[in-house]
Amino acid sequence: MDSLAYAYGAAGDRIKEEECLLQALNLDSQLAEIKHHYSKLLIENKKYKEARKLLEELIKEYWDDEDIYETLIVLFVETNKILHLPAFLGKIRTEKTEKSQVFLKAADALAQHASGVDWEADQNSSFIGRFVQKMREKTKQITLFGVIIDLYESSIRHNPFNKNAPIGLAGFYESVNLEEDAKKVLKSSLEKGWDFITAYQLVQIHMAGGNDPIEEAAEMNTAIKLLDACLKEKPNDTHLMLLKAVAFTHRMRFTQAETILRKVLTENPYEKEAHFRYGQLLNKRKRYEEAIEIMEEGLKFHTDDTSLYIELAISFHKIKDVEKSLKLMEEALEIDPDLLIARYNKACYLSILNKLKEAEEELEYVFHHDEEGYFQELAEEDIDLMNLKKALFNQKNSRLHRLFF
């Protein structure tokens, strides 16, 4: 009966959908799936009081069902009662560890909802209208984010050892670019007790680096310490080894990084990015022939890894085999035609080879799709484009001429 109701709902016949659900409830009023489906229909029909009563019954009995929380969030958002959500949830369970889980599941559901909201959509055309609407949307956003944080913190408060709560809160902070807050939450959690997943998430944030060389060094040193702790728990994890090698590379401790990378490739040649990272390190150390050998071997294991093609092309460029570099970019673009870095590098190699018309076409494509202007800025000082720039100097009607001169 429930599947038939869904079929009517998909067809847009809410009357028939409701009839099926009521028939099913008459047969068995305790079927959770039917009650949940009916609560969704009540929300669609804007019968919010009935929906809230039904959901409250459901969530008290099935408080660990994540799907119910998603529906609950829809109800509270649509009725503009989101600020009342924490108080509502506080009545669901009495035992602290269960309360912690209730708040956590609601926080996760609300964070997921927030990630799908377009805060800039459907704005008025007038300046005043846009300004007023923008302020309203900003207020809604701040309110929503505040409730999410409150729910996660309530979960932590009711059970400080519920490691999923700080992980969720840190993930939310990361999603809204509050990395320092994310670090504090995860560090505080680890101080209360070791947890591998918490430490790993903190490693990922520190691996993003810093804003200057001193901060960068501090971030990498912290990441290395955390990785050492993680490796004590999982000493054969080649992904953790790879991350440590990357951190050592950032700290310019190349010998240590290379030792680890060799170990990773010996133990697990399928480890993603291992050949790329080793090749990149060897390129930095101007050991191009070795880099080529490593990355060509890597392509046997990772045939669709475009980063390998790009870094390998750099190696061949350095040993003056630009034709090979060009061929590698063409192969990378067969895998991902929209990869702008591959198209940009292809334009550079075409310019070096004096295939200037093709170089111009590739560069125009890159600039047209370069929304943030990264490649235009890169091209201004790029000596690999020298031949193309010389050819464009007298072509005053060319779009590229206007960009370069």
Task: Locate the domains of the chain by residue range.
Answer: 1-62, 84-176, 358-405
Residue pair 286/317 in contact by the 8 Å Cβ criterion:
no
Q: What pLDDT does 343 receive? A: 97
Provide the CATH number for the domain formed by 1-62 in this structure. Answer: 1.25.40.10
Q: What pLDDT does 11 receive? A: 53
Q: What pLDDT does 299 receive? A: 97
Q: What pLDDT does 15 receive? A: 67
Long-range contact pairs involving 336-345 (C-beta distance under 8 Å, separation at least 24) = 336/306, 338/369, 339/306, 340/366, 340/369, 340/370, 340/375, 341/310, 342/306, 342/309, 342/310, 344/375, 344/378, 344/379, 345/310, 345/313
Query: Distance (Å, rounded) from C-alpha 222 to C-alpha 368?
Result: 40
Query: Distance (Å, rounded) from C-alpha 157 to C-alpha 151?
Result: 10
- Tell me the residue type at 52: R
Q: What pLDDT does 199 receive? A: 97
Give pTM, 2 decimals. Answer: 0.83
Averaged pLDDT, groups of 10, the chain, 405 residues long: 53 63 64 83 90 91 92 94 94 92 96 84 56 69 93 96 96 94 96 95 94 92 97 97 97 96 97 97 97 97 97 98 98 97 97 95 94 92 93 77 69
Q: What pLDDT does 68 receive? A: 94
Distances (CA, A) of 401 to 10, 48, 273, 405: 55, 62, 38, 6
Q: What pLDDT does 293 receive? A: 98
Question: What does the buried/exposed string (b/e) look like for 265-290 if buried means 16 or more CB atoms within 10 Å of the residue's CB?
Answer: beebeebebbbbbbbbbbbeeebbeb
Nearest to 75 by CA among 59, 91, 99: 59
